[in-house]
Structure 1
């Protein structure tokens, strides 16, 4: 050392033997003024003199072997500046150690000048010979930064590194000393990036291990400056360190261990650095991780790259953000070729290591959320057994399929343990109920919640093993996300299932969920009803949903033995609570939806107590659906309705009529009114459905404008002139002749007969469903109250102005004031053939026919007028009037309005002259005038369960049979055999 500063020309001293490292360090320390080599950072209260810093810089320039001691000496300079910088930022009054004597510390400006000189000298040395200086200087700079960050971490005004990294970065970047060290390290890394930056990156990793998290701000700053270099080299150095310390230990190091292993010190630092860079450089991290994975499978991989997959698994275990960053792209890159390479790569691993790896993968899948559904589809596609029809291109080998199959089974088993070890959720309480310790989330299942519909669609495809896996996973997601996910899963299965095999999956899922979830089916039905009101379901899905619910509800009555009764027992009451919601679907514009809703309502039991408003709305919708189905069934042979639709509609109406007496009356009234009104009347052979002639005509394709004459004519026709002998009605317009009636295409007689029989059968079912009396079970009679309701509806539909009129038979003089009304009644009976079967139906429930007295009077009066004006012609020219006369008398006889002897006169009508028909009908009129058709004349007979009339209590019958006997005597040669039928 003495020859270093000797002046030129001085005598050379004898040569000294080479010094050891310890002796050289002692010499340099004495030269710099230290009694011993400094250990760590000197205390800030005893800084080295300013001249000693210049000596250290001189040694760096002139004596490279002394760089270690010189750099060690310069630590104090940076430590002193950091201390001064923090003291300057502290507010007044902050307690701190007593300051040194005045004059012992240099000023902050002089310290910054010294730091500037150090920055310049080290920068020149690095530029001159980077391979010699960059490794040592970078290690010194990072170690010093780590020591300073840790030493002053608890100082007042220094934020914690883990809480606010940005604030900490701003603090240290405002300090000239730490900023100078960062610049020095950045220059070292930049100078070595093209050759071999491993030494610089190793120094960063080593320091990060020792001083994390206080050193994180340094890593964040450097990584942001050199993202590609840092990420690539950090991964490379971490992989080498992992391979050196752990690869030779049979994989024990990376078997699930979310916390870092002490034998691999750099793994935590790698995770921390990548975690800091993930916010801004996630694309670079993803690219480097995928590159590391694919390079490890290549044929030219290095020895340490064989441990890349275990290394990546360990990184993923320790850092869920890294797993979320790389997992979607990693799954997309796993082509069949890559999978085969991966299988070949691990074929040489011991069985224990492979089991550990599968366990790790299962754990990672449960903890991943990004791309979870895509990952599931990849596993399902890969694990599916090979089919005979193979797609072109490479396909996974059998070993890959078996491995993926085993992975799926272990995944489902692990998810089942995680789900059922959590607190049991209930549908009555929210899943996030207050508890002492909230259950741990399962990210994989959380990510699958938005894909419940896709899981249900995949399950319903019934693809061998695939649908079993998806069905089991669907149950786990439903239990985990209860109550909403469970109801949603059941709702999708009930909506999307086609056929009994697919529909059977819903009861199977219910069997799994019902053991841990109460009130599942009511919540499911409520969710489906909300979807219906919101219009979320397409029409074909809505129709399929109603059909599936009806199929399940049939198990309540034992109609379908393939459906578990436990599910049906829970489903039927839930459906019954939403009667108004499903009844609205009967009015849906789509025929399939309306028909399926009718099938559903006809299959599920009705609630015991239904609000009147809801009941009336359901009845109106059901009646509308019945006639609509009847029109479709006969209007188009290939239509959707047909016989099944009529069966469901009839069954629904009979169920609604059995709810209460008011419901029975409403059903019968709606049916009668509907059958006689509008286009429905055409189903039963009506030629004028509206019951009146067309008031307006079409001329040249355009409807006439409204005129005052038409308005007056309509108003006049509605006025009641019963108080006098004058009656005004309009048969036509002067100059145009009679009004043209609306001509409809007549229906086939067999079609009309079938429709009429179907309608009457429905009326009979509704009447019998409303009562349990013995009379309701007889085939020859119906419930009197129900028949009375039909009679009231019939009168109101045919002649509304006469509804509620007197039942007494008026004298002949008084009947002259109702000519217009009688003609209108007769016109309705002639235009609508259904009216006579309805009267016959009413007659089977005596004394209900009494309430149709106004219709009987009007019709009989019109027929009397017709036969009186047809004395010269035969009965063959009045076919309808003859049939009407026979039907009218037969109906009154069956309804016990006429005695048997007089009630059989209709048998004579086809064999006698028109004037004789008039005389016989006039005898019937006289009898009814003397013996009014009143309900009070009927007496209930308990043994027979019927209301019967005792004609012996009426007046003398002989005077009303005189005309009858005279007609028989006159036509004795033809009617003699019928004479015994007309004895009193």
Structure 2
């Protein structure tokens, strides 16, 4: 009878007698068929248990325990089939799932339990859910090491494997039904079972947690947190855990690790729900205390964050945003009654969590700094925090810096077990916010900049030289006062001992940033100005703790060429700052000719541009740079002076020194035939002819493709005072270069009246050669001999061109006077002297005025020419004094005197061989006694003196041999 009963569907049997129930119980307990006497099969034994489960409630514990074996048998067969098929796990082909005959019995078990849960969920759901979830945990752990079972880390493959097995799928469906039936009333029992099983069988049980959590995310998250908090309180962990040993909470409160694991699985898809639940728990705990769990909520949340960096990063940003002054007050009141030890542990745990925070670290730092800042009188009412809260944040910052310092300097060295030093997530996140930290440091707000500055130093040590150079570069580019610049010096002083080569690396980074255009023009200029300030910094020892100036100058000297490329920058701030920096940096020991030429061209161009803009400080910097360049070598001296002369005497620069500007840019207009232009001018307008006499700024084209023609010049000529000042600046620079760095003694452009310092003959010769090349490019320096007066008929055009250039540009006479000071350099200007003298003689001969004052420029030019020739000792003193009476004579008389000078020069040519070096005076001189009697050249002079004895008699003594 018992066998017949077991063959039918036990779930559909209506009543059963006590005798039959007793026989079924005996069969279930013994496992033997009472009719035939043979051993019951697994299926028959299970159906016997199902019958007892339906009709004998006290036997439910034993029956459910027996049914575990049914599911175990099924899973064993399932795994065995996978091994025989060789499907390679979930992805391969699989044979029949489970042993034959167990599919229908597992379905019967599910039907019976589902019926019980549906009929009375309060009684059956906790029992059945605990049984099903515990059974899944046991099965997952038991078969975790089988060949066809994926590793626990492969959660998706593991989930696919177990959900493909009917037995485990039935168990999962049973638990889901239990949880669904209790979700609206009291799901804690079901969730407790889940947590308990997770503690015992993790990580092999994680696939169950992942599946259930995905099905009931909100319920699982909230109930898991609630059950975890309840267990946290029950085990006496309501006090704060020691931050140095956060793992001890895992042993004291076993479910904490399970809570962390479950939330970790759900975070990939339900991070927003987790974040909302955590924040909700936090804010609810700060209300009026009605439940003892409220006091333990914040320590519980801190413990979860300490054990799970994922949870910490999920909630940290929004939590910081929610900490407004009212919330901070509530938080302070909430923990006001903590003991000293608990308070220390709480603060220590907070500091530990901040150090482990990755994303959002900068927001946390700013919150702490802003909250800990001393109160201000302008703080808006309602936004101020209490002094106690401010002091707490101040204490947290101090402990944070101390803890970070310990972590940075106590990191273990690399080993086989730990190849890399332990990471600090807080610093790993701040690596990308170095510039923001520098900006905050430079605000110089009481304590803020001290904290940020110390943090920058620790971050630089942690990240290495790259971060240190970046920090220094940002500080140098952003500092706008000596106090702010001192912070960069202090940071370098603290890092230099542990980072050899930090300063050269910082300079390389700065130069790279200057050339990569990654800095705005204002910051690029500020960076170079600050570098120049540090190079020249000579403060007290307490202000400059390390000799950064000399080391910085040495490091910058290797980048002179790169810095020189910034001199012609389009932005005036950048170019002037580059000039300032280069004027303070020593030149490298080996500067190639190409580098020297490029640097000289750029410096000269910037000098003239600064004069044109009226930037006296920039012009002074360029002048100092050119002076230092000229002292580098004789070749550098020649290059500087020649470039200065060529650029300053160019037609476009004549107006800068009081002359008439030439070379007005071409603009569209009528055809050339209508304007009468020459063919050469027309060709030059369209760029078919190259003006080799131009300066470095000469443009050899009519425009830029895509941008149109060159714009017309809008530069206005300077006034007389500005022109005189520009002339003095240029001449002072030329004199300093030619005299070894000694400047003019007075701001007077007349060199002959102030006893200028001795001029290097080589420097004067370089100026002379540049003058000749610029004014007469077709004449060689070998044409020093003075031809007869009739020869001037063959050079009329060239002589007139020379006169026009001298008339248009007053600078040329000043440069000629400079050449005269460096004897015998004036000899190399023979062609210019001849051209000027010839044109002046022709003018005075053809003049019909009664007085020479009627031709002021010619009179001034005649006097200057004779005085210059006398200063250069091309004329004896008697002849060189004749210019003193030119303004008292008639034009023809001046012509006769100039003719006498021509005759003397023809007979006594201006040759350098006639000069002798005087070691006592340190300059060359000429002995005119070797040239013979000069009386014959004075006959005309004496005749004119006798003719005008009435008003020239008092000067006769000046012209005696």
SS for the counterpart of 1:800 is coil
CA contact (8 A) 1:676 1:689 kept: no
CA contact (8 A) 1:629 1:646 kept: yes
What's the offset of the Cα at 1:689?
3.5
1:710 paired residue number: 678
| 1:514 and 2:496 matched | yes
CA contact (8 A) 2:440 2:449 kept: yes
What's the offset of the Cα at 1:678?
3.7
**Quick one: distance in 1 between partners of 2:264 and 2:301?**
14
SS for the counterpart of 2:536 is helix
User: In the alignment, which of 94, 99, 102 is matched to residue 108 of structure 1?
Assistant: 99
1:672 paired residue number: 645
What pairs up with 1:864-875 in 2 under 5 angstroms?
Answer: 864-870=841-847, 873-875=850-852
**Quick one: distance in 2 between partners of 1:500 and 1:379?**
28
**Quick one: distance in 1 between partners of 2:311 and 2:103?**
41
Change (3 A) 1:560 1:830: farther
**Quick one: distance in 2 between partners of 1:433 and 1:107?**
50
| 1:214 and 2:204 matched | yes
| 1:544 and 2:521 matched | no
Residue by residue over 1:916-963, the C-alpha shift from the partner in whole angstroms, topping out at 9 and shown as x without a partner, is 111111110000000000001001111111111111111331211111
Change (3 A) 1:624 1:944: same
**Quick one: distance in 1 between partners of 2:835 and 2:353?**
89
Moved more, 264-273 or 748-757: 748-757
Change (3 A) 1:495 1:341: same
What pairs up with 1:8-47 in 2 under 5 angstroms?
Answer: 30-34=26-30
Change (3 A) 1:705 1:623: farther
**Quick one: distance in 2 between partners of 1:710 and 1:390?**
77
CA contact (8 A) 2:31 2:40 kept: no
**Quick one: distance in 2 between partners of 1:164 and 1:156?**
14
Moved more, 559-568 or 503-512: 559-568
Change (3 A) 1:566 1:677: same
CA contact (8 A) 1:554 1:604 kept: no
What pairs up with 1:652-801 in 2 under 5 angstroms?
Answer: 652-690=625-663, 702=670, 704=672, 710-711=678-679, 747-769=718-740, 779-801=756-778
Moved more, 561-570 or 165-174: 561-570
What's the offset of the Cα at 1:312?
1.0
2:61 paired residue number: 68
What's the offset of the Cα at 1:32?
0.8
1:579 paired residue number: 560
| 1:240 and 2:230 matched | yes
**Quick one: distance in 1 between partners of 2:665 and 2:525?**
41
CA contact (8 A) 2:78 2:98 kept: no
User: In the alignment, which of 568, 572, 581 is matched to residue 600 of structure 1?
Assistant: 581
CA contact (8 A) 1:143 1:207 kept: yes
What's the offset of the Cα at 1:434?
11
What's the offset of the Cα at 1:65?
2.2
User: In the alignment, which of 809, 812, 815 is matched to residue 786 of structure 2?
Assistant: 809
CA contact (8 A) 2:42 2:70 kept: no
Residue by residue over 1:426-453, the C-alpha shift from the partner in whole angstroms, topping out at 9 and shown as x without a partner, is xxxxxx9999731111000010011111
Residue by residue over 1:302-332, the C-alpha shift from the partner in whole angstroms, topping out at 9 and shown as x without a partner, is 2222201111111111111111111111111
| 1:486 and 2:463 matched | no
The gaps in structure 1 that reach 5 residues or longer are 14-23, 37-45, 95-104, 425-431, 634-640, 717-741
**Quick one: distance in 2 between partners of 1:962 and 1:320?**
109
**Quick one: distance in 2 between partners of 1:960 and 1:417?**
95
SS for the counterpart of 2:554 is helix
2:708 paired residue number: none
CA contact (8 A) 2:656 2:717 kept: no
**Alignment TM-score, normalising by the size of structure 1:** 0.87
CA contact (8 A) 2:435 2:471 kept: yes
2:306 paired residue number: 317
**Quick one: distance in 2 between partners of 1:419 and 1:90?**
52
**Quick one: distance in 2 between partners of 1:944 and 1:9?**
142
SS for the counterpart of 1:504 is helix
1:380 paired residue number: 369
What's the offset of the Cα at 1:781?
2.6
CA contact (8 A) 1:337 1:395 kept: no
1:637 paired residue number: none
SS for the counterpart of 2:925 is strand
What's the offset of the Cα at 1:109?
3.3
| 1:142 and 2:133 matched | yes
**Quick one: distance in 1 between partners of 2:680 and 2:82?**
103
The gaps in structure 2 that reach 5 residues or longer are 6-12, 33-38, 88-95, 685-712, 744-753
What pairs up with 1:453-468 in 2 under 5 angstroms?
Answer: 453-468=435-450
**Alignment TM-score, normalising by the size of structure 2:** 0.89
SS for the counterpart of 1:246 is coil
CA contact (8 A) 2:478 2:523 kept: yes
**Quick one: distance in 2 between partners of 1:832 and 1:702?**
30
SS for the counterpart of 1:33 is helix
**Quick one: distance in 1 between partners of 2:574 and 2:925?**
47
**Quick one: distance in 1 between partners of 2:101 and 2:15?**
37
1:618 paired residue number: 599
**Quick one: distance in 2 between partners of 1:713 and 1:120?**
108
Moved more, 315-324 or 968-977: 968-977
| 1:629 and 2:620 matched | no
CA contact (8 A) 2:600 2:639 kept: yes
Residue by residue over 1:467-517, the C-alpha shift from the partner in whole angstroms, topping out at 9 and shown as x without a partner, is 111111111111111121111100000000111111111101111111211
What pairs up with 1:321-340 in 2 under 5 angstroms?
Answer: 321-340=310-329
CA contact (8 A) 1:552 1:563 kept: no
2:903 paired residue number: 926
What's the offset of the Cα at 1:681?
1.2
SS for the counterpart of 1:940 is strand
**Quick one: distance in 2 between partners of 1:940 and 1:528?**
50
User: In the alignment, which of 154, 160, 167 is matched to residue 157 of structure 2?
Assistant: 167
What pairs up with 1:847-858 in 2 under 5 angstroms?
Answer: 847-858=824-835
**Quick one: distance in 2 between partners of 1:670 and 1:387?**
60
| 1:189 and 2:171 matched | no
Change (3 A) 1:839 1:333: same
What pairs up with 1:639-654 in 2 under 5 angstroms?
Answer: 641-642=615-616, 644-654=617-627
1:569 paired residue number: 550
2:452 paired residue number: 470
Change (3 A) 1:797 1:156: same
